[in-house]
C-alpha cells in the first residue's frame, strides 16, 4: 500500500539557480548553496547561472548518477513555470520524475524582496529546507494515460468560433459548434464595413457561414446552450440544452415522418404573425414578429418562435400548411455529447453606456452607440443604409464621435482597459459619412488614436486627409437643445489648451466592450479563471495565450480580451491547433495526484464519499468490512477527501499528510537560530 | 515578553491554481511585500487538514494564512467552501486553547490578483506583529 518506504535512506541533491541576476541580485547564492549542503539528507549542493539551460539540466542528470540521488530539489523560479522542465531532467537522470521538488526563490522571493538581500537569503534557505523535507519523502508515481475522444466542441459561433470549428473539422475532427442565438455569425454579422480594407463585413463572412453549414465534420447546434460539464481533458461530457425553437428543420420533420416537410425559410409564417417585437439583431431599431429570423442571411435558414411573446394563435401553423414545420408545443431538449477538447469563443457585449449619464445616451434621441451606427449605415439595416438621426429622420451633417466612451476609465463606473478596436472603427465611421453624405463633417474627440495594426496608421492619415476634424480631449458632457434636438459637445482641447463647445446633429459613442453576458456562467461550468475585469484568463499571456489552466479547454477571440477581427481569427486558428493536439495524439497523461485508501486505517465511515465533488470514491466490502475505494480516472487530486478524513486513512499522492507535515516542521523547527 | 530580535514566523498554505498563481504574478510585477511568510503549495485549499494548522501552531508558528480561489472559482468546484467551513471551526478551537483567532486567516486571491496578494501579506504580517510572538513558541521543539 502507499506508505513511505521507511528503510530508504534519502539522498537529495540541491541545485540553486542564479537566473542571471534575477535571483542572484538579491539572494546570496553561495551562502544558500553552502547552507543547503549542511541540511539532513542532502548529499550534494550546487549552483548554476541558468539551471533551465542545457548545461544546468545536465548538471542534474550527472549528479543523479554520480551521487545515486533519491530526490532532486531545484531552487529557482516558480514550479508553475519550470516544474515540467526539471521533472524531465530528473527522468533523464534515471529517477522517477515525481521525485523532484521545486523551491520558488524568484517569483515569491527575489523579485518581491529586491531591496532586502538579507531577508531574501534567509527566506531562500527556509524554502530549500522545506523543499528538501518534502523531497526526502517523495515516491515514485506514474501518470495515468487516458484515451482522448476524437471530437471537439466550440462554444460560440462568431467569426472566432466559426474559424476554430472549421480548422478542427478540416483537420478531420468531429466538431460540435454550439451557439446560443438562432444563427451563427456573431457580432461581425452586425457590422457594415471592416477597417482598414473597407471590405463589406457580411460579404466576407457569409461564405464562411455557409462553409460551416456545409462541413460534414461540423455539427451545428444553434439556439443551444451549455447546461453542464463533467469529466476532464480527453473525456468531457457536456450537457446541452437545445432550446425549443418551435420550428422543425427538414431533417427533424423527416424524423417525425413528415415527408418533404420542415422549414424551407419561405417566411409565409411571418406575414400572418400578429405579434410585433423589437429585433435584437437590429438593436431594437427594427421590428420582428414572434416567429422570426434575425436577418436574410441567417445560417441555418430556419425560423424561430419566441415563445415569450407568442400568443399561440396558430395562424403560422396554417400558413405553413403541408410543410408542417411549426410545432407550438415543442419543449427544450437536453442532450449530452462527449468531446476530447473544448474551445470557448463567447465574445463580447457593449458596455451599458447609459451608466455614464454625462453623454446622455438613452436620454437624448440623437446620441447612439457605434454598433447602432453600424446598423444604420448598413444597406441591410433598418434604414436600408441611409444614415438618419433618430429624432426627426433628417440626414446629419455634423456628427460627433466620442472615443474611449467607458474605456480607459478609472472612475469605477466604466472599464479601465482599452477596448482596442474603437479608434479604428470610428475612423471608418468618419470615412463612411464623408463618403455617403456630401458636405458632412465628422468631429472625432479622442484621447489617443491607437492605430497599431497592419495598414492602420495609413488608414488614419487617409481619414485626416479626407477632412475629419480631430479634437484631442475627453468629452466632459453633452447637452441637448430641446427645440432642435441638436447636441453640444463640451470638452477641453488639450492640444490648444482651451475648452471647446461643438454643435452637432448627432453623436456616436464608441462604447467600451465587456465580456458577453454568458461568459461568467460558461467559464464556471468549464472551470476557467478570469481576470479582474471578467475576461477569460489564458494559461500564460505570452507563452500559452490560447490555453487555460483547465487542461483541454482553450480560448479564442474577444472572450479572452478585446481584439479586432484579424487577431480574433488568428487566435481561433491557434486555439484550434492547440485543441487538436491531444485529439491527434489519442491519449493524454493525467497527473497522478490521486487519492489512495490506507485500508488498515479506514473505518468505512463514508464521509469522504459525499465530500468528493467528482463521485470518485465509493465504499466496498473487503475482508468482511467496508473500506473506501478510489476510481482513479475520476479523481482529479484536489485532496478534499484527504483534508477531512478523521482517521487519516487517505493518502494524497504527492501531497500526502506526512509530506506536508514534514514541510511545516522543516520550516518551524528546522531553521537556524 | 516580545524579545527584541523576534521575527514572526508565518506559514501560508495556498492553492496552486489561484493564490499561488497570484503570488507568482506579484513577483512578475515586482510588487514588494514583507518577507516574513513561507508558502507551502497544495493543489486546493480543500486539501488542508485542520491538523496541518494545529501542527503549525504547535511548532510555534505565530500565524497561519490559508489562501485559495474565490468562491465559485475553485479549480475543483467547491474545495474552498469546505476549507472555509473548516477554518471557521478551527478559529473556535484556537480561541478555546487560548490562542488569538486572528493568528489564523483565510483569504481568497485569484490568479490575476498579484497586488491583492501583496496587500494580504502586508496585512497578515502587520496583524501578527501587533499580536506579538505566539504563546506556544516556548513549548515548540
Ligand atoms: S483550487 Fe484554489 S481553492 Fe480549490
Segment A81-102, tens digit of pLDDT: 999 999 999 999 999 999 999 9
In chain A, the percentage of residues whose pLDDT exceeds 90 is 93
3-state secondary structure (DSSP) of residue A621: strand
Confidence of residue A672 (pLDDT cuts 50, 70, 90): low
Instruction: Please give the CATH topology (third level) of the domain spanning A591-653.
Output: Alpha-Beta Plaits (3.30.70)
The values of phi and psi at residue A555, to 5°, are -125, 145
**A112·B110 Cβ contact <8 A:** no
Mean pLDDT of A552-558: 97
Mean pLDDT of A151-159: 98
CB contact A665 to B (< 8 Å): yes
Mean pLDDT of A628-655: 93
CB A284 within 8 A of CB A198: no
pLDDT higher at B34 or A634? B34
Mean pLDDT of A256-261: 91
- pLDDT reported for residue A532: 86
- pLDDT reported for residue A4: 42
Cell of B36: 516574513
pLDDT higher at A529 or A137? A137
Q: Given a cut of 80, is residue A573 above it in pLDDT?
A: yes
Residue in chain A lying closest to B59 (CA): A668
Q: Given a cut of 80, is residue B1 above it in pLDDT?
A: no
- pLDDT reported for residue A549: 86
Model confidence, pTM? 0.89
- DSSP lists the bridge partners of residue A46 as A15
Nearest to A524 by CA among A534, A514, A532, A533: A534
**B69 CB less than 6 Å from ligand 1?**
yes
- pLDDT reported for residue A2: 40
Q: Given a cut of 70, is residue A6 above it in pLDDT?
A: no
Quick one: how many helices (H) and strands (E) in chain A? 16, 34
- Candidate from B30, B61, B141 with C-beta closest to A111: B30
Q: How far is the CA of A645 from the centre of ligand 1 (A)?
A: 18
Cell of B12: 501560508
Segment B75-85, tens digit of pLDDT: 998 899 999 99
Mean pLDDT of A296-309: 95
User: For the packed helices B114-131 and B19-28, what is the interaxial angle rounded to 10 degrees?
Assistant: 100
CB A509 within 8 A of CB A361: yes
Lowest mean pLDDT among A297-311, A399-413, A610-624: A610-624
3-state secondary structure (DSSP) of residue A324: coil
CB A340 within 8 A of CB A583: yes
Segment A31-57, tens digit of pLDDT: 999 999 999 999 999 999 999 999 999
| Ranges in chain A annotated CATH 3.50.50.60 | 146-241+335-347+531-590, 349-514
**B46 CB less than 6 Å from ligand 1?**
yes
Top residue of A102, A532, A547, A640 to mutate, by most chain B CBs within 10 Å, is A640
CA distance A381 to A378: 5
- pLDDT reported for residue B72: 84
3-class DSSP string for A199-219 = EEHHHHHHHHHHHHHHCCCEE
In chain A, the percentage of residues whose pLDDT exceeds 70 is 99
- pLDDT reported for residue A278: 95
- Candidate from A108, A652, A665 with C-beta closest to B47: A652
The values of phi and psi at residue A52, to 5°, are -80, -10
CA distance A526 to A507: 40
Mean pLDDT of B10-22: 97
CA distance A471 to A447: 9
**B61·A668 Cβ contact <8 A:** yes
- pLDDT reported for residue A1: 38
- pLDDT reported for residue A512: 97
With the most atoms of ligand 1 within 8 angstroms of its CB, the residue from B24, B44, B65 to mutate is: B44
Confidence of residue B141 (pLDDT cuts 50, 70, 90): low
Segment A461-496, tens digit of pLDDT: 999 999 999 999 999 999 999 999 999 999 999 999
**A111·B28 Cβ contact <8 A:** yes
Nearest to A234 by CA among A500, A551, A525: A551
- pLDDT reported for residue A641: 96
- Candidate from B40, B86, B140 with C-beta closest to A669: B140
Q: How far is the CA of B66 from the centre of ligand 1 (A)?
A: 11
3-state secondary structure (DSSP) of residue A93: coil
User: For the packed helices A79-92 and B19-28, what is the interaxial angle rounded to 10 degrees?
Assistant: 100
The values of phi and psi at residue A376, to 5°, are -75, -25
With the most atoms of ligand 1 within 8 angstroms of its CB, the residue from B41, B67, B68, B110 to mutate is: B68
Q: Given a cut of 90, is residue A315 above it in pLDDT?
A: yes
Q: Given a cut of 60, is residue A529 above it in pLDDT?
A: yes
**B111·A527 Cβ contact <8 A:** no
3-state secondary structure (DSSP) of residue A191: coil
Report the CATH superfamily, name and number, of domain A146-241+335-347+531-590. FAD/NAD(P)-binding domain (3.50.50.60)
User: For the packed helices A657-669 and A117-135, what is the interaxial angle rounded to 10 degrees?
Assistant: 150
User: For the packed helices A159-170 and A565-585, what is the interaxial angle rounded to 10 degrees?
Assistant: 30
- pLDDT reported for residue A3: 41
CA distance A604 to A628: 6
> In the predicted model, what is the mean pLDDT of chain A?
95
Mean pLDDT of A122-135: 98
Instruction: Please give the CATH topology (third level) of the domain spanning A349-514.
Output: FAD/NAD(P)-binding domain (3.50.50)
3-state helix, strand, coil split of chain A in percent (to 5) is 30, 25, 45
- pLDDT reported for residue A5: 43
| Ranges in chain A annotated CATH 3.40.50 | 8-141
Nearest to A516 by CA among A100, A94, A39, A186: A186
Nearest to B16 by CA among A610, A581, A102, A547: A102
Residue in chain A lying closest to B63 (CA): A668
- Please state which CATH class domain A8-141 belongs to: alpha beta
Confidence of residue A632 (pLDDT cuts 50, 70, 90): confident
- pLDDT reported for residue B139: 85
3-state secondary structure (DSSP) of residue A597: strand
Q: Identify the residue whose cell numbers are 495609413.
A: A458
Amino acid at each position: 500500500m502507499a506508505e513511505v518506504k521507511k528503510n530508504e535512506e534519502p539522498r537529495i541533491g540541491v541545485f540553486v539557480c542564479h537566473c542571471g541576476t534575477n535571483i542572484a541580485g538579491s539572494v546570496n547564492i553561495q551562502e544558500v548553496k553552502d547552507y543547503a549542503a549542511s541540511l539532513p539528507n542532502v548529499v550534494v549542493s550546487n549552483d548554476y547561472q541558468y539551471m533551465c539551460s542545457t548545461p544546468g539540466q545536465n548538471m542534474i542528470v550527472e549528479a543523479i548518477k554520480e551521487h545515486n540521488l533519491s530526490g532532486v530539489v531545484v531552487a529557482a523560479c516558480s514550479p508553475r513555470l519550470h516544474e515540467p522542465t526539471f521533472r524531465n531532467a530528473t527522468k533523464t537522470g534515471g529517477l522517477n520524475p515525481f521525485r523532484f521538488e521545486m523551491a520558488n526563490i524568484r517569483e515569491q522571493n527575489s523579485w518581491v524582496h529586491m531591496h532586502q538581500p538579507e531577508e531574501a537569503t534567509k527566506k531562500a534557505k527556509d524554502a530549500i529546507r522545506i523543499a528538501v523535507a518534502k523531497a526526502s519523502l517523495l515516491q515514485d508515481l506514474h501518470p495515468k494515460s487516458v484515451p482522448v475522444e476524437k471530437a471537439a466542441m466550440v462554444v460560440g459561433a462568431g467569426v472566432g468560433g466559426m474559424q476554430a470549428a472549421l480548422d478542427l473539422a478540416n483537420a478531420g475532427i468531429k466538431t460540435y459548434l454550439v451557439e446560443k442565438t438562432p444563427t451563427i455569425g456573431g457580432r461581425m454579422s452586425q457590422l457594415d464595413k471592416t477597417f482598414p480594407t473597407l471590405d463589406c463585413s457580411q460579404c466576407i463572412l457569409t461564405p464562411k457561414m455557409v462553409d460551416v453549414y456545409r462541413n460534414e465534420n461540423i455539427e451545428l447546434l444553434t439556439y443551444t446552450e451549455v447546461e453542464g460539464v463533467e469529466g476532464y481533458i480527453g473525456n468531457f461530457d457536456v450537457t446541452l440544452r437545445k432550446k425549443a425553437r418551435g420550428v422543425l428543420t427538414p431533417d427533424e420533420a423527416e424524423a417525425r415522418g413528415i415527408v418533404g416537410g420542415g422549414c424551407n425559410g419561405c417566411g409565409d409564417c411571418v406575414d400572418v404573425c400578429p405579434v410585433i417585437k423589437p429585433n435584437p439583431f437590429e438593436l431594437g431599431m427594427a421590428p420582428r414578429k414572434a416567429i422570426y429570423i434575425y436577418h436574410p442571411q441567417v445560417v441555418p435558414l430556419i425560423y424561430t418562435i419566441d415563445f415569450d411573446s407568442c400568443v399561440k394563435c396558430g395562424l403560422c401553423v396554417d400558413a405553413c400548411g403541408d410543410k408542417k414545420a411549426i410545432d407550438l408545443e415543442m419543449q427544450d431538449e437536453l442532450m449530452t455529447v462527449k468531446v476530447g477538447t473544448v474551445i470557448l469563443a463567447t465574445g463580447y457585449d457593449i458596455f451599458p453606456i447609459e451608466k455614464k449619464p454625462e453623454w446622455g445616451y438613452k436620454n437624448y434621441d440623437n446620441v447612439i452607440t457605434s454598433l447602432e451606427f453600424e446598423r444604420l449605415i448598413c444597406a441591410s439595416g433598418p434604414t436600408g443604409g441611409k444614415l438618419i438621426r433618430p429624432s426627426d429622420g433628417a440626414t446629419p451633417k455634423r456628427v460627433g464621435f466620442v472615443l474611449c466612451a467607458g474605456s480607459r476609465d478609472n472612475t469605477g463606473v466604466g472599464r479601465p482597459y482599452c477596448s482596442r478596436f474603437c479608434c479604428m472603427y470610428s475612423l471608418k465611421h468618419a470615412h463612411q459619412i464623408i463618403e455617403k453624405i456630401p458636405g458632412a463633417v465628422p468631429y472625432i474627440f479622442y484621447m489617443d488614436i491607437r492605430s497599431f495594426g497592419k495598414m492602420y496608421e495609413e488608414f488614419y492619415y487617409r481619414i485626416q486627409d479626407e477632412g475629419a476634424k480631430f479634437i484631442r480631449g475627453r468629452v466632459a458632457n453633452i447637452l441637448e437643445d430641446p427645440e432642435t434636438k441638436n447636441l453640444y459637445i463640451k470638452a477641453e482641447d488639450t492640444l490648444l489648451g482651451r475648452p471647446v463647445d461643438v454643435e452637432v446633429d448627432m453623436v456616436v459613442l464608441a462604447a467600451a466592450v465587456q465580456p458577453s453576458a454568458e461568459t461568467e456562467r460558461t467559464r464556471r461550468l468549464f472551470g476557467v479563471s478570469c481576470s479582474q475585469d471578467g475576461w477569460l484568463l489564458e494559461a500564460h499571456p505570452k507563452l500559452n495565450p490560447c490555453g487555460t489552466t483547465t487542461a483541454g479547454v482553450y480560448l479564442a477571440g474577444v472572450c479572452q480580451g478585446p481584439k479586432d477581427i484579424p487577431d480574433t481569427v488568428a487566435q481561433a486558428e491557434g486555439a484550434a491547433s492547440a485543441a487538436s493536439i491531444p485529439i491527434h495524439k489519442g491519449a493524454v497523461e493525467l497527473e497522478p495526484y490521486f487519492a489512495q485508501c490506507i485500508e488498515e486505517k479506514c473505518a468505512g465511515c463514508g464521509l469522504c464519499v459525499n465530500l468528493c465533488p467528482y463521485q470518485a470514491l465509493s465504499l466496498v466490502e473487503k475482508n468482511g468490512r467496508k473500506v473506501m475505494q478510489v476510481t482513479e480516472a475520476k479523481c482529479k487530486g484536489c485532496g478534499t477527501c484527504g483534508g477531512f478524513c478523521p482517521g487519516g486513512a487517505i493518502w494524497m499522492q504527492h501531497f500526502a499528510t506526512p509530506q506536508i507535515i514534514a514541510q511545516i516542521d522543516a520550516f518551524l523547527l528546522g531553521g537556524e537560530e | 515578553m516580545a524579545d527584541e530580535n523576534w521575527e514572526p514566523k508565518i506559514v501560508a498554505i495556498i492553492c496552486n491554481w489561484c493564490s499561488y498563481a497570484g503570488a507568482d504574478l506579484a513577483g512578475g510585477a515586482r510588487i514588494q511585500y514583507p518577507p516574513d511568510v513561507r508558502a507551502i503549495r497544495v493543489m486546493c485549499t480543500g486539501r488542508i487538514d485542520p491538523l496541518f494548522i494545529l501542527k503549525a501552531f504547535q511548532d510555534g508558528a505565530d500565524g497561519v494564512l490559508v489562501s485559495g480561489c474565490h468562491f465559485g472559482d475553485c479549480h475543483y468546484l467547491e474545495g474552498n467552501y469546505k476549507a472555509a467551513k473548516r477554518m471557521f471551526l478551527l478559529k473556535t478551537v484556537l480561541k478555546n486553547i487560548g490562542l488569538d483567532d486572528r493568528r489564523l486567516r483565510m483569504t481568497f486571491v485569484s490568479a490575476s490578483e498579484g497586488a491583492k496578494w501583496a496587500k494580504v501579506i502586508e496585512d497578515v504580517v502587520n496583524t501578527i506583529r501587533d499580536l506579538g510572538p505566539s504563546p506556544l513558541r516556548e513549548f515548540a521543539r
